[in-house]
Amino acid sequence: MKPNTQSVLRCTSRLSRHAASRSSKRTLINSASRLSLRHRAPSQTQSRGLTIADLDKSKGDRERVVILGSGWAGYPLARTLDPKKFQAVIVSPRSYFVFTPLLASTSVGTLEFRTALEPIRSRRSKARYIQGWADDVDFFNKTVTVEEAVADPNQGLALTGPRYEGKTEEEVVNVLQSKKIKGQVFNLSYDKLAIAVGCYSQTFNIPGVREHAHFLKDVGDARAIRKRLLECFEAAALPTTPDTVRRQLLTFAIVGGGPTGIEFSAELHDLCTEEMSRIYPELAEFVSITVYDVAPKVLGMFDDKLAKYAADTFKREGIAIKTSHHVENITRGLPGVEYSPASTRPGLTLKVKEEGEMGVGMVVWSTGLQMNPFVERALSTVRRFPRKEVIFKAQDQEVTDAEAKTWTIARDGRSGGLLTNDRLRVMLESNSSSGNGETRKRAFMKDVFAIGDCGVVEGTAYPATAQVANQKALYLGKRLNRNDMQQQRFTWKNLGIMAYLGNWRALVQGGSGFGNISGRTAWIIWRGAYLMMALSWKNRILIPVYWVINWIFGRDISRF
């Protein structure tokens, strides 16, 4: 059997930036879904047959909940679901959950990387796991198309663009064809589907950011930052490095003045004052840390008083905050030095509109989120309307002419996220031009949920934070366990926000209950809260061990 080029092209059209027009795309999708991978003859070039028999056998008479994603929404949902009632199957390219608030600490060595991780598979875990990317969803047949991602080379790094970006159409076709032939793409059926794929990191397509900046969304990012930081110090310490270059290598730029950028700057400052100034005393004078933001102030989500406290603290500690500044590009190599692949030295050139070009050792980028390409492209038009699965929003009417219409997945206008109702069910809409003008029909899929950053509850403006994602997941898990979704709608309970400011100081802005606190007391709350939130007992033990050990003996600066 020849590989089906059309079906491959379908994927390509979604993945490449120049998507085919909507109608021709649909045709390709249809022809693709006819080519069910399950029915391929066993006489393949590869001996890998297609079976999810193990999974089906262990399912028993439970419902299968397929969860796409293992972040702040997907992972808690899988933990919450009652294994007696549901077979939870996580599909995610990451084999672990990242406790993101501790990433900044791990990136400077205050904590070890694995203290911020929980493996999806563990001795106690009841959830099943498939390491893969969700490629497509068929809402009519209730299957997800999954592409394996076991040895993905970008594992552990922040996602910033479509997987096949930069590849030509032809290269993508080749990759996908080869994966199909080898059975590396397969269908997984679901009874309920929770879309929790999260967002990608926003780069605003500023040249060089994706290639040369560091993000702070995954544990691989934290590791890369730690390595680069220490590399900059080591290069600056070489006897051959002149002072001008030392100053450039030890200039660290953080772009984005939200909690992530601020906390990282604070942790970096701690590292420099507590560790590096003792280990490299001769370099202390060259170090500088600068936070850039396009907005006129940082920590915009905090009260003015707290934000001012943060700004004052940073000023006192010597961290520069440059608001209303615009990064224009990042290139490899220090200014005026032609980059060559033979160079094994760190160093970047950062161009800021207001300042011009400057040499820096590292740029850490944290300017918010962009919609996941899976949500943007794969989840657009609905191939066949999943009639029986629908519940109406108003009046409990049935949709009478569903199959005759083109249904699309409703989106939040601002973020592009999946619109859901207050039960987190994904919304469909259809524009039918029948006689008296356009009427807009709406429907909700009973068994398809969007949680976390990729879903937006209609009529709300909840922030895209871990807290909201986590609350959505717990709501959904509990409602499914008790089967009482109709009785209770989702509302977000604001538990407040925190930010670490360095030197044992923090900000805590109370949600319901708490007031606003800053300084040492806030720092104790900050540490205590994260310790309590740590999901496993293992990490609840290891985290304070590292806090104490590294406070006494210093952070480890071995680099490998």
User: Is 40 among the residues that bind its own copies (CB under 8 A)?
Assistant: no
Does residue 39 belong to the site contacting its own copies (CB under 8 A)?
no
In this structure, is the dihedral angle defined by the CA atoms of residues 106, 111, 117 and 119, taken in order, positive or negative?
positive
Angle at 453 between CA 84 and CA 205, to 5 degrees: 140
- Binding of its own copies at residue 275 (CB under 8 A)? yes
Q: Give the CB-side neighbour count of residue 329, counting CA atoms within 13 A.
A: 6
- Segment near its own copies (CB under 8 A); pick from 20-28, 413-421, 442-450, 542-550: 542-550
Q: Residue 116: how many CA atoms within 13 Å on its side-chain side?
A: 26
Asked if 152 is part of the footprint of its own copies (rule: CB under 8 A), the reply reads yes
Taking CB under 8 A as the rule, which mask of x and - marks residues 284-323 in contact with its own copies?
----------------------------------------
Q: How far is the CB of 498 from its own copies (least distance, A)?
A: 25
From CA 554, how far away is CA 550, in angstroms rounded?
Answer: 4
What are the φ/ψ torsions at residue 542 (nearest 5 degrees)? Answer: -65, -35
Q: Is 362 in the site for its own copies (CB under 8 A)?
A: no
545 contributes a contact to its own copies by CB under 8 A: yes
Find the part of the chain contacting its own copies (CB under 8 A) among 343-351, 408-416, 433-441, 478-486: 343-351
Selected from 141, 241, 331, 408, the binder of its own copies by CB under 8 A is: 241
Task: Specify which residues 305 forms β-bridges with.
Answer: none
The CB-of-119 to its own copies minimum distance in angstroms stands at: 4
Angle at 78 between CA 422 and CA 63, to 5 degrees: 80
Site for its own copies in 209-228 (CB under 8 A): 218-220, 223
d(CA 156, CA 222): 9
Task: Please report whether residue 183 would count as binding its own copies according to CB under 8 A.
Answer: yes
Select 103 or 379, whichever has its Cβ closest to its own copies.
103
Q: How far is the CB of 24 from its own copies (least distance, A)?
A: 26
3 binds its own copies (CB under 8 A): no
CB of 177 to its own copies, least distance (A): 9
Cα–Cα distance measured from residue 522 to residue 308, given in angstroms and rounded to the nearest whole number: 15
Q: Which is nearer to its own copies, 334 or 473 (CB)?
A: 334
Tell whether residue 75 is a contact of its own copies (CB under 8 A). Answer: no
> Whole-number minimum distance, CB 483 to its own copies, in Å?
28
Least spacing, CB of residue 170 vs its own copies, in Å: 13
Asked if 5 interacts with its own copies (CB under 8 A), we say: no
| CB burial readout 2-32, b (16+ within 10 A) else e | ebeeebbbbbbbbbbeeebeeeebbebbeeb
Q: Which is nearer to its own copies, 112 or 328 (CB)?
A: 112
For the bound state, the minimum distance from the C-beta of residue 468 to its own copies, rounded and expressed in Å, comes to 25
Kindly tell me which residue out of 63, 148, 191, 355 binds its own copies, with binding defined by CB under 8 A.
Answer: 148
Q: How many other C-beta atoms lie within 10 A of the C-beta of residue 434?
A: 11
Q: At what angle do helices 5-15 and 169-181 cross, to 10 degrees?
A: 130
| CA distances for 440 relative to 16, 93, 410, 548, angstroms | 30, 37, 11, 60
Contact in structure between 347 and 237 (CB atoms under 8 Å): no
Instruction: Of 383, 458, 350, 379, give the one whose Cα is nearest residue 414.
Output: 458
Nearer to its own copies, 57 or 316 (CB): 57
Q: Is 553 in the site for its own copies (CB under 8 A)?
A: yes
Q: Restricting to residues 45-64, which ones interact with its own copies according to CB under 8 A?
A: 46-55
Closest by CA position to 465, among listed 456, 452, 449, 477: 452
Does 463 sit near its own copies (CB under 8 A)? Answer: no
Query: In angstroms, what is the minimal distance from the CB of 372 to its own copies?
Result: 20
